[in-house]
Every structure is written in C-alpha cells, then in structure tokens.
C-alpha cells in the first residue's frame, strides 16, 4: 500500500464513523483553536508594546543621573549628588555620531489659560524634542532654538490641554500661566494618544531651563540622545561615557539604549506568548488522550477486519501504518479545523474590536498544527502496535 | 374477556423505499393460560407478531387489546411499565448481560422496577432455583453452557411474575437435549397458569403446543387447536 | 430504579472497559488539575504582591507632590515634581490631624558611598525616626535614626544588609564613619535583611536624617510623605484631613496627590483576581475537550451496547430510565475524573510548595468548586446526546444488535 492509498484507506475508515471522527478531531481542534487565539493575543500585545516603544525611533539613548538601579530605573531623577545639567546636554551634542540631544524635566503644575485652570503634566524639553521624537505640530510652531540656558517663556500645548483650556479657539499668542509664571502659547501638538497608559496629549511643553526654575531643581531627569542609525549603539555609548567622565570626573549616570529596552521587553513578551501557548497546550494534551482512547476502541472493534487484512496478505507494518495513519489524519484535520476557526476568530476580533491588539503568531500557528500531528502520532503508536501484534487466527475468530 | 385480542392488525415496513407487509389483517384472540406456538417460513411475520404482542413494536393499522385496554392509547412509559409487569421475554440468543452474574441478570427487571436489594436477591434466588440453577447464581454467562444460559433467561423472564411469556426461537441456539429441557420448563410454567407463546421453526416443538398458528406472508393461514385442549 | 442501583449498574458498565474509562478519567483529571494549579499560581502571585504591600505597614497613606486632573498617574506625577515642594513644615502640619498617627517625610536620590577604599553607587533615603515604626523594620545591630528635630542634619546613617556585607565584610559597622557623596556620617545601625520589597530593595539603602539627605542631594522639597493613620477606619478621614491641611498651607491650591494603601491593594487585588479568573478559563477549555471525549466514548458505548439497551427496554425500562443510566455513567466519569484531578492537582501543588516554599500556592475556593462543577456540567452536558440516542433506540432493532 503506498502513501496515497493509505490516506484513502484511513479516510474511508474515519468516514465510516463520521460522528466519532468529528468528535475526536474536535478535541484536537479546540486545543489548536485555544493555542491560536491565546498566542494571537500574546503576539498582539507584543506588537502593541513594541510599536508604542519604537514610534519614537530606535536610535535613542537615554541618560539618567545616578548609577543605582535599585528602583528599577535610576533613582537619580529624584535627586543626585551630581546633577545632569543643560550644559551636559549641550556638550553631548559634540560626541561623534550624535545627531541631537534633548534635555527632559517632568512634573506637574497648575496651568491657567483661556480663563480656566487645570492641574496637568509639564514637560520641560529642548527645541530638538519635536524632531527627535517625531511629534507633529498641529498649529503654530514648536519651542524655538533659543539660548538653552535662558530661553524665552514660550509654551506648546498638547492636543488635550488645548481643548480643555481653549476649546475650539486658536490659542496661539494667548497668555498662559504655568505655576504662576507667564508664558506665551506658540503652538499646539497633534494628538498622540496614550502611550503605555500615559496620555501624552495632557501635557504642556515648556523649555527645559524654565522647568528647572519652576521646580527649583538643579538637574535634569534625563537627556535623550539621538544618534546616527548607521553607527552601532555601543560606539555612541562609549563616546557618551567619555564625555560624562570628562565633565563629571566619573561615570555617575545610567545609560540605557532603546535597543536594550526593546530586547528586554521583547524577551519578556516572548515568554508571555510562550506561556499562554503552553496553557492552550493543556487542551491539546487532553485531545491527545481522546485520540488514544478512540484509536484503542477502533482496534478492538475492528479486530475481525484486521484479521481479514492479515489473511489476505497485509504485513504487520501495513496494519501499523493504517492505524497510525488514521490517528494522524484525525489529529491533522482537527488541528487544521482549529487553525481555521482560531484564525477566523482572530480576524473577526480584529474587525469587530479594532482597539484590541491581536496578531497571528505564525510560528505558533505552525507549531500548533505540528504538535497536533505529533500528538496524533504519539496517541496512535500504542493502538497501532496493538493492532499489528494481533494474531490473525484469533482476530478472524473475533467476529 | 380475552387476554389478547387483535383486530385487523397490520404492520408495514419500509425497506429500500418499498412497503413490505410483515403482518396483514391479523385477527386473533388469545385467552389467559393458553399455550400457543407460531410457525411459518422465514419472513412470514412470526417475529413481528411476537414483537407486537410483546409491546416492543406497534401496529401500523388495526388494534391490539391487552386485558381490555387498547394498547395504541399507551405512551412509551406506559408500554414500558406494562412490559415490565405483564410480559416476559425469552430470546434465541439469550441476551444476558455478559458483565453481570446469573443472579444479577435475573435481578435486572426488579432493578428497573425499583425493588429493594434484599427482596431482589431473594426473589432472584428463588427464580433461579425454579429453573434448577440455584448453584450457578454467581457465575457469569461466559461460564455457563447454552442450556444454562437460556434457563437464566427464563428465570429472568418470570421473576416479575408476568402473565404472558413470549419465547422467540428459544431452542434455536441449543442442542436437542438442552432444548427439550427448556421446553419442559416453559410448559411447567404454562401448567401453572402462565400464558405461553412460542415462535419456532422446529415442528417437534411447535406441535407440542395446544394451539398452533401458522403464518404465511403476514397472514394467519392456519389456527389449529389440539384435541385434548 | 433507585439512585444506588442506577449508580451500581453504571459503574459496572464502566469497569468492563477499564482502559477507556481510565483515559476519560485522565482527560477530566488533567482539566481539573490544570484549573487547580493555574489558579493556585494566580493566587500565589496575588497574595505575594498584596502581602508585599501589606508588609509596607498598616493603614498607610502616601502623599505625592503634584496633581493632574485628567490623567491620573502620569509621568509628571511619578517624577514627583511640582512648582510647590512638599516641605518638612507640611509634614509637621499633617500631624495636626487626629486621624494621623505618624508621618515620615522621604527624600530619595542616588549617591556614591565609600568606606575603606570600597565604593558603591547606592540609593540614599532621607527620613525620620518614625519610618522604622511605620515600616516595622527590624534592626540587626545598633539603633535606627534618632528621634530628633527634623531640621537637624546630624551626621549619622543606617545601612541595609547588602551594603553591610559589601562594604564591611566581616567588620562590625556600627560606629564607623562612611563617606556618602561629599558628606561623612557615622553608622548608627544596620537593618536586618528585609528581602525584596515592592517599593525598593531596602537591603541596598543608606538611610540618613531627612535634612542631611536634602543637603546631600541638594533638593529643597520632599519626595513623598508616608503617613500612618491611627486605625483602619480612620484612613479615609486621614486622607481628607491631609488634603485639607496641605491645601490650606498651599494657598488654597490642591496640588498634592494622596494614595491610600487600601486603594492600591484593591487595585492589585482586582488585577490579579482577573488574571486568576482568566487562567481558570483557559484551563477550563481542556475540561470541555474532556467533555467531548466523554461524549465520544459514550456514543461508542451506546453503539456497542445496543443489544443490552434493547434487552433493558424489553424488560420494561422506560426511556427515562435508559437516559438516566447513561447520564449516570457520564456523571460518574466526570465526578471520578474531577476527584482524580483534585488529587493530581494537589500533588502538583505539594511539589510546587516544596520547590518554592516562599509562595502560598493555594487554589481559591471558587476555582475548586468551579472546576468540579464545570467537570460535572461537561459530563452531563456531553452525556445528554449519547443518553438520548440510547433511549431512542428501537428495541427490536437494538435486540437484533442492529
């Protein structure tokens, strides 16, 4: 019997017990559906998080004051013996391959404008912020390239702040009080939406040096360095380290490349996806028990048929192949059905709930089907072996 | 009142799109305590008649009065209950449940009737003793000979003290000696008042009955009563 | 037919095919065990996190400088920068509330600490004597920071356990002088190892008087206020008082955010509760698969036992009785499977507890009950089709084995 005839034979005997075969395949199908759905969600989450991180570009290096990483991130932003200054940010622009540096100070303050008052997030940044992070201005301009040590009191509103304070009116040229200080609004940003739960539109951008004054701080929270994509991050980091050591007399900052962050996040999210795949795999295992049970029953029921096949010249290997083939076929078809249902559900979910991040994790989809077939193989071995081992004379007498 | 009265009873089956008349215009009256054999060639409708009489099958046309009640008015549950209380079956292939002992097989109808365990065991034992198998109570069917199996089946059929015993080729799977023994047991039961109806091909057995029915093509073609009846 | 009889007959039928019965039990057991183990994992994670939060102290409130009206927690708020700093005077003022038992002002920052040629980059925390009582820290040796005027920047410090090991290997640190940034301070005591905490790894901290830390880090304000209310029922009152007092002091502006420990606990509880429920749901899918298997095998059983069903009917079994018989079989399978699953699951939990003795692996009651109920439900639900099929069999055909 060649491969094709074997498949035909297996298909035929599977079809002769239609309901039973469907139910057996269904067991595997549910398992595969679970794996496909769960990994799609894992993959969706993965893509979503990475997208959120990479929307600002991957060629960014963050520098935070202080070296301790006890709190997960450096605690230096809360205070450090040696602060990071705006001069540091300016000096870092001279490091080879550095395209731009952005000083960052963050906090909250009460903001008055358009006759209203709001407590909101304040971002003290440099004029390079807009280009470095690819934020677009909807109205007016972003902060201009003033003297970074003594910038004019100008402010740019996030989309939500503009709406909260001025409604549909253009706020350009309006006076704005930030923590009591007078600023002039020169621009409004395009909506950016939420990034990892933080609403970027609920912000007022002011020059970093002004923010330091507002909060009575010595040092910046962070300096973001944008570097030439063509150059390896390590080289740029080495340059930054030399510059900091030259200026501070020691390496008292924490340097994080975007790539490192992405790698760490990526591996965490990979583990999450793997874990949910494994959870879905429990159902596959139960489905495998189902195939084993049904194949065992089939061998017992078809003892006479096996005897007949042996009598007309089938070898043990052929009997084994018939039952193994049937088992694999059931698992394979069940798995394919599961892929179809799971895939369709994912697509439908994507259409029905666009906000839900889902994405088919192709390697897992392939793996799920492969595992399904393997389960069919594994579950079929013992019954097939039993069928092959039947004594033909005894088997024929079974009728 | 007659125990059983069939009026213009017919039973048609559909086989491969064709109507087959298994029973056709059967009129029959059977009194309580009668001993009746039904004979006829294969396909003459003997088994169908027995199934109808045993309330396993329902007639397509006509009426079947059992103890004055028209059975076509009974629902499934009522039919089941009537079978349980009034009718005992003996089959050619015994139909013992292989995983149960002889006693458990005899207990089965009482189990369905919800009779308590102690009474069940006691009655099953008596019934088995009645067919001479008191010492075989704990054997499984596989450990019994053909004749013994059929005796267990009879013990089971009568344990609910039915009024009607229906036997479908009861000796068909048995050797002559065992067959004769089975017939003797059933006749003894009949002598004690049980109505006995036996379907058989075996002329020797069929002719022992006091009343002999012969069927052909679904019709009763002969209804003989033995002289001494 | 009585319930006991029904069960006995059904069990007898199941025992005749030990292998397939065992397989159905195994399938159900895997599902139940999966629910048990996964929910126990979720619960362990939940209790780990909430215990960590409880370990921070009791009836706690945290005051952060700054406030945003629209976003809730934003990057600006996390940074804790606000035009008006929280001051030591603010901290003192908060004590006016009768609902407040203790206040510990906090300043946090990065610094380099050195001793005997060894240097470490560490986190400095400036606080007061109240901190040790609020956090219920234990001392390994020496004393905690003295209870003194908060404005006094006395040159003393307390070390975490890791720092003691790294800087004073084998040496008794109390009484030695450390250099922290550009200041010197005398080691007053060493904290007993506290292990990992959610807020910070206490073992790696250097604690100093709050005024000293402010000078060292050159920060005028405070990073947080840690407040302990007098009791569980006064937490809400304390929150109101703190907001009111600080608003008064900040010229009528409400520019602080007050978070209660209970609120955070509730949030975490909710998140982990949802996680556990999701895990239970995923595991329950395998119970459905087990149910499909039960249905399948029961269908096979019905076709194999056709003659027996025919006999039962001839003996006067009603449809209902036949249905009940097969449903009982399915129920027995599901119930025994669930039981086996509980045994399997608990065995796995014993193993997990042995491997990770620090975590409390305990499946929640609802998961236990839910897993068993779903297993039974699947058994009955998937048993209905085969049972009905058995009940509907035509007795004549069934007797003939057709």
Is the CB of C70 less than 8 angstroms away from the CB of A180?
A: no
Q: How far apart are CA B143 and CA A257, in angstroms?
A: 82
As a whole number, mean pLDDT of residues C362-376 equals: 89
The answer, yes or no, to whether residue C139 has pLDDT greater than 80, is yes
- Condensed to tens digits (0 to 9), the pLDDT of residues B149-167 reads 999 999 999 999 999 999 9
* pLDDT for A271: 87
Residues in chain B with CB shorter than 8 Å from the CB of C12 are: 99-100
Is the CB of C316 less than 8 angstroms away from the CB of B56?
A: no
Is the CB of C313 less than 8 angstroms away from the CB of B56?
A: yes
* pLDDT for C282: 87
Listing DSSP states for B115-160 in one string gives --HHHHHHHHHHHHHHTT-GGGTT--GGGS-HHHHHHHHHHHHHTT
- Condensed to tens digits (0 to 9), the pLDDT of residues B61-105 reads 999 999 999 998 998 888 888 988 899 999 888 888 888 899 999
Nearest CA to C105 out of C121, C86, C119 is that of C86
| Contact of chains B and C by CB distance (3 or more pairs under 8 angstroms) | yes
* pLDDT for A398: 65
Name the DSSP letter for residue A80. B
Residue ranges in chain A modelled with pLDDT below 70: 1-3, 68-81, 194-198, 398-399
* pLDDT for C219: 83
Cβ contacts of A342 within 8 Å, gap of 6 or more: A32, A33, A34, A35, A36, A37, A40, A365
Residues in chain B with CB shorter than 8 Å from the CB of C312 are: 108, 112
Residue with tokens 């045994």: C343
B83 touches chain C (CB under 8 A): yes
* pLDDT for C211: 93
Is the CB of C12 less than 8 angstroms away from the CB of B100?
A: yes
Q: How far apart are CA B171 and CA A172, in angstroms?
A: 109
Helix (H), strand (E), coil (C) string for A177-229 = EECCEEEEEEEEECCCCEECCEECCCEEEEEHHHHHHHCCCCCCCEEEEEECC
Residue B38, domain extent: 4-225
As a whole number, mean pLDDT of residues C13-40 equals: 90
CA distance C320 to chain A (A): 24
Nearest CA to B151 out of B169, B172, B129 is that of B129
Is the CB of C317 less than 8 angstroms away from the CB of B80?
A: yes
Is the CB of C68 less than 8 angstroms away from the CB of A120?
A: yes
As a whole number, mean pLDDT of residues C396-400 equals: 83
- Condensed to tens digits (0 to 9), the pLDDT of residues C250-303 reads 888 888 888 888 888 888 888 888 888 888 888 888 888 999 999 998 998 888
Is the CB of A81 less than 8 angstroms away from the CB of C182?
A: yes
Is the CB of C253 less than 8 angstroms away from the CB of A110?
A: yes
In this complex, the chains that touch A, judged by 3 or more CB pairs closer than 8 A, are C
In this complex, the chains that touch C, judged by 3 or more CB pairs closer than 8 A, are A, B
* pLDDT for A339: 92
C315 touches chain B (CB under 8 A): yes
- Condensed to tens digits (0 to 9), the pLDDT of residues B13-66 reads 888 888 888 999 999 999 999 999 999 998 899 989 999 999 988 899 999 999
Residues in chain C with CB shorter than 8 Å from the CB of B91 are: 399
CA distance B229 to chain C (A): 31
Write out the two tokens for C183: 């200041």
Q: Supply the CATH number for residue B149's domain.
A: 3.40.50.300
**Mean of all residue pLDDT scores within chain C:** 86
Residues in chain C with CB shorter than 8 Å from the CB of B51 are: 396
Confidence bin at B191 (pLDDT 50/70/90)? very high
| Nearest chain B residue to C325, by CA | B112
* pLDDT for A77: 60
* pLDDT for C75: 60
Is the CB of C31 less than 8 angstroms away from the CB of A70?
A: no
Q: Are A199 and A161 in contact (CB under 8 A)?
A: no
| Exposure string for C48-79, b = 16+ CB within 10 A, e = fewer | ebbeebeebbebbbbbbbbbbeebeebbbbbb
Number of structural domains found in chain B: 1
- Condensed to tens digits (0 to 9), the pLDDT of residues C319-339 reads 888 898 889 989 999 999 999
Residues in chain C with CB shorter than 8 Å from the CB of B89 are: 314-315
B114 touches chain C (CB under 8 A): yes
C290 touches chain A (CB under 8 A): yes
């Amino acid at each position: 019997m060649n491969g094709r005839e074997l498949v035909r034979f297996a298909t035929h005997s599977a079809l002769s017990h239609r309901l039973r075969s469907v139910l057996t395949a269904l067991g595997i199908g549910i398992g595969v559906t679970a794996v496909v759905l769960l990994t799609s969600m894992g993959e969706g989450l993965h893509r979503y998080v990475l997208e959120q991180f990479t929307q600002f570009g991957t060629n960014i290096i963050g520098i935070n004051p202080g070296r301790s990483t006890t709190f997960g991130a450096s605690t230096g932003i809360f205070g450090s013996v040696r602060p990071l200054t705006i001069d540091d940010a300016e000096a870092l622009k001279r490091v080879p391959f550095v395209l731009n540096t952005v000083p960052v100070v963050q906090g909250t303050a009460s903001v008055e404008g358009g006759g209203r008052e709001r407590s909101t997030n304040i971002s003290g940044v440099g004029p390079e912020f807009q280009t470095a992070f690819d934020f677009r201005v909807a109205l007016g301009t972003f902060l201009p390239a003033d003297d970074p040590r003594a910038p004019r009191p100008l402010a740019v509103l996030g989309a939500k702040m503009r709406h909260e304070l001025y409604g549909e009116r253009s706020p350009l040229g309006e006076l704005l009080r930030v923590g009591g200080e007078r600023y002039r609004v020169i621009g409004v940003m395009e909506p950016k939406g939420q990034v990892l739960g933080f609403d970027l539109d609920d912000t007022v951008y002011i020059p970093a040096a002004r923010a330091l004054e507002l909060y009575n701080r010595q040092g910046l929270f962070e300096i973001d360095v944008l570097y030439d994509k063509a150059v390896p991050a390590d080289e740029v980091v080495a340059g930054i380290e030399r510059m900091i050591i030259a200026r501070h007399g020691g390496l008292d900052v924490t340097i994080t490349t975007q790539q490192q962050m992405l790698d760490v996040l990526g591996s965490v999210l990979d583990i999450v996806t793997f874990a949910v795949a494994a959870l879905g795999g429990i159902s596959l295992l139960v489905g495998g028990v189902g195939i084993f049970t049904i194949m065992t029953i089939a061998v017992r029921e078809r003892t006479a048929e096996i005897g007949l096949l042996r009598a007309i010249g089938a070898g043990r290997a052929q009997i084994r192949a018939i039952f193994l083939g049937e088992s694999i076929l059931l698992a394979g078809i069940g798995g394919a059905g599961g892929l179809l249902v799971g895939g369709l559900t994912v697509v439908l979910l994507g259409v029905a709930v666009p906000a839900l991040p889902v994405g088919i994790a192709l390697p897992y989809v392939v793996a799920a089907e492969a595992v399904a077939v393997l389960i069919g193989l594994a579950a079929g071995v013992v019954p097939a072996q039993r069928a092959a081992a039947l004594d033909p004379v005894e088997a024929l007498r079974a009728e | 009142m007659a125990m059983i009265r069939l009026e213009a009873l017919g039973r048609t089956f559909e086989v491969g799109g064709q109507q087959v008349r298994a029973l056709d215009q059967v009129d029959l009256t059977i009194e309580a305590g009668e001993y009746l054999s039904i004979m006829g060639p294969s396909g003459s409708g003997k088994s169908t008649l027995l199934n109808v009489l045993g309330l396993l099958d329902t007639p397509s046309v006509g009426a079947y009065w059992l103890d004055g009640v028209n059975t076509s008015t009974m629902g499934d549950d009522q039919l089941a209950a009537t079978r349980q209380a009034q009718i005992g079956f003996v089959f050619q292939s015994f139909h013992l449940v292989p995983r149960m002992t002889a006693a458990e097989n005899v207990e089965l109808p009482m189990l369905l009737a919800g009779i308590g365990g102690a009474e069940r065991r006691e009655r099953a034992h008596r019934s088995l003793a009645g067919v001479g198998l008191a010492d075989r109570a704990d054997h499984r069917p596989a450990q019994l000979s053909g004749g013994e199996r059929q005796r267990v089946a009879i013990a089971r059929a009568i344990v609910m003290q039915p009024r009607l015993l229906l036997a479908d080729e009861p000796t068909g799977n048995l050797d002559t000696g065992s067959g004769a023994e089975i017939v003797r047991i059933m006749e003894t039961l009949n002598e004690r008042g049980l109505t006995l109806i036996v379907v058989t091909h075996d002329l020797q057995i069929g002719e022992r009955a006091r009343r002999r029915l012969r069927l052909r093509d679904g019709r009763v073609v002969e209804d003989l009563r033995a002289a001494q009846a | 037919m009585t319930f006991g009889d029904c069960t006995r007959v059904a069990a007898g039928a199941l025992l005749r095919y030990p292998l397939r019965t065992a397989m159905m039990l195994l399938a159900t057991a895997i599902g139940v065990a999966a629910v048990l183990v996964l929910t126990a994992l979720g619960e362990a994670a939940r209790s780990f996190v909430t215990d960590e939060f409880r370990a921070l102290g009791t009836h706690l409130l945290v005051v952060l400088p700054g406030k945003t009206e629209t976003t809730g927690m934003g990057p600006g708020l996390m940074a804790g920068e606000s035009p008006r700093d929280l001051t030591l005077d603010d901290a003192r003022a908060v004590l006016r509330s009768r609902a407040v038992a203790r206040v510990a002002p906090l300043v946090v920052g990065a610094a380099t600490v050195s001793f005997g040629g060894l240097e470490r980059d560490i986190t400095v925390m400036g606080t007061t004597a109240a901190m040790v009582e609020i956090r219920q820290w234990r001392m390994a040796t020496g004393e905690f920071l003295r209870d003194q005027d908060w404005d006094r920047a006395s040159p003393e410090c307390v070390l975490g356990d890791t720092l003691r090991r790294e800087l004073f290997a084998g040496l008794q640190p109390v009484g030695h002088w450390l250099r922290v940034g550009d200041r010197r301070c005398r080691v007053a005591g060493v904290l007993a190892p506290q292990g990992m905490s959610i807020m910070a790894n206490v073992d790696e901290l250097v604690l100093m008087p709050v005024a000293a830390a402010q000078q060292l880090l050159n920060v005028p304000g405070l990073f947080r206020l840690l407040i302990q209310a007098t009791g569980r029922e006064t937490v809400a009152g304390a929150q109101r008082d703190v907001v009111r007092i600080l608003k008064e002091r900040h010229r009528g502006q409400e520019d602080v955010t007050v978070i209660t420990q209970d609120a955070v606990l509730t949030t975490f509880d909710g998140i982990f509760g949802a996680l556990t429920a999701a895990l239970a749901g995923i595991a329950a899918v395998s119970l459905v698969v087990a149910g499909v298997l039960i249905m399948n095998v029961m269908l096979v059983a019905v076709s194999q036992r056709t003659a027996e069903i025919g006999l039962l009917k001839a003996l006067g079994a009603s449809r209902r009785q036949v249905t009940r018989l097969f449903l009982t079989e399915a129920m027995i399978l599901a119930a025994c499977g669930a039981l086996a699953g509980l045994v399997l699951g608990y065995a796995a939990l014993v193993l997990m507890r042995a491997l990770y003795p620090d975590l409390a692996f305990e499946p929640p009651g609802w998961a236990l009950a839910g897993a068993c109920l779903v297993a039974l439900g699947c058994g009955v639900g998937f048993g209905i089709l085969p049972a009905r099929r058995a009940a509907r069999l035509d007795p004549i055909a069934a007797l003939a084995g057709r």
